[in-house]
């Protein structure tokens, strides 16, 4: 019997989420797992934790910008700091939840299209119009995406999932729950790999 999906939480503002999104499916498949895609809103989560965007923290801010670029390239990904950052990830997150109605592959395709637009190309995905354009370029029906982002059920699902994420202890991006075990950061994927292989330690 295949195990439960890896619960993958990410915010489009997070370059580490961008790295994680490109790696999570291969990691899951290696262990016979699937991925549950959960776009989330760090802004809402930071209200609980009192944290703020990394680039605004003294000393840590300069470093984080450097680490964003270095880490993306270390993992073989293109990198560009978007002109607009942080930005509202609400529309983009809704687009993923809408796409997820067609399954995990569609959710992944939407996620990577939007993440690549921001972090490989430095484009804006703030707002429904920008999101629809990028979704259209990726092969989605832009009108259907726009309708989906405006669907009250999609909007409510996003809010419910953010609340649920906070209840489950999610406080950063990417964040992966593996059979309930929490892993924070693209730099914990090596531990997830060993955890799935060994059943934990």
* Total residues binding a copy of itself (CB under 8 A): 31
Decide whether 50 or 139 has the Cβ nearer to a copy of itself.
50
Give the CA dihedral 3, 189, 11, 156, nearest 10 degrees: 10
Residue from 73, 102, 160, 164 binding a copy of itself (CB under 8 A): 73
- Look up residue 30 and give its two tokens: 């290696």
172-186 burial, b if ≥16 CB within 10 A, otherwise e? bbbbbbbeeeebbbb
Stretch that binds a copy of itself, among 24-32, 126-134, 154-162, 178-186 (CB under 8 A): 178-186
Residue from 84, 137, 163, 187 binding a copy of itself (CB under 8 A): 187
- The nearest distance, CB 143 to a copy of itself, in angstroms, is 39
The footprint of a copy of itself on residues 149-168 (CB under 8 A) is: 166
53 Ramachandran zone, left/alpha/beta (phi>0; psi -120 to 50): beta
- Using DSSP bridges, classify how beta strands 6-10 and 35-39 pair: parallel, antiparallel or unpaired: parallel
- The nearest distance, CB 24 to a copy of itself, in angstroms, is 17
Query: How far apart are the C-alpha atoms of 126 and 119, rounded to whole Å?
Result: 13
Q: With binding defined as CB under 8 A, does residue 57 bind a copy of itself? A: yes
Stretch that binds a copy of itself, among 32-40, 53-61, 83-91, 107-115 (CB under 8 A): 53-61
Between helix 90-100 and helix 152-167 the angle, nearest 10°, is: 100
Query: How far apart are the C-alpha atoms of 174 and 11, rounded to whole Å?
Result: 7
- The nearest distance, CB 153 to a copy of itself, in angstroms, is 28
The side-by-side arrangement of strands in the sheet containing 181-184 is 35-39, 6-10, 175-178, 181-184
Q: With binding defined as CB under 8 A, does residue 199 bind a copy of itself? A: no
Q: With binding defined as CB under 8 A, does residue 80 bind a copy of itself? A: no
List of residues contacting a copy of itself (CB under 8 A): 45, 48-51, 57-60, 62-63, 66-67, 70-71, 73-74, 166, 169-172, 182, 184-185, 187-188, 190-191, 194, 201
């Amino acid at each position: 019997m295949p195990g439960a999906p890896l619960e993958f939480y990410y915010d489009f503002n997070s370059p580490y989420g961008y790295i994680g999104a490109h790696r999570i499916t291969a990691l899951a498949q290696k262990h016979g797992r699937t991925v549950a895609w959960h776009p989330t809103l760090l802004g809402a989560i930071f209200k609980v934790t009192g944290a703020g965007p990394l680039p605004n923290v003294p000393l840590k801010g300069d470093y984080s910008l450097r680490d964003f670029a270095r880490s993306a390239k270390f993992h073989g990904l293109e990198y560009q700091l978007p002109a607009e950052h942080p930005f509202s990830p609400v529309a983009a997150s809704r687009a993923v939840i809408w796409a997820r109605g067609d399954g995990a592959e569609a959710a992944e395709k939407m996620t990577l299209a939007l993440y690549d637009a921001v972090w490989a190309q430095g484009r804006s995905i703030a707002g429904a119009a920008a999101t629809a354009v990028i979704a259209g370029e990726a092969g989605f029906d832009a009108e259907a995406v726009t309708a989906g982002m405006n669907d009250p059920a999609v909007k409510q699902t996003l809010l419910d999932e953010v609340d649920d994420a906070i209840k489950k202890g999610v406080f950063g991006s990417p964040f992966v729950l593996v059979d309930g075990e929490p892993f924070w950061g693209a730099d914990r994927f090596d531990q997830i790999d060993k955890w799935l292989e060994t059943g934990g330690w």
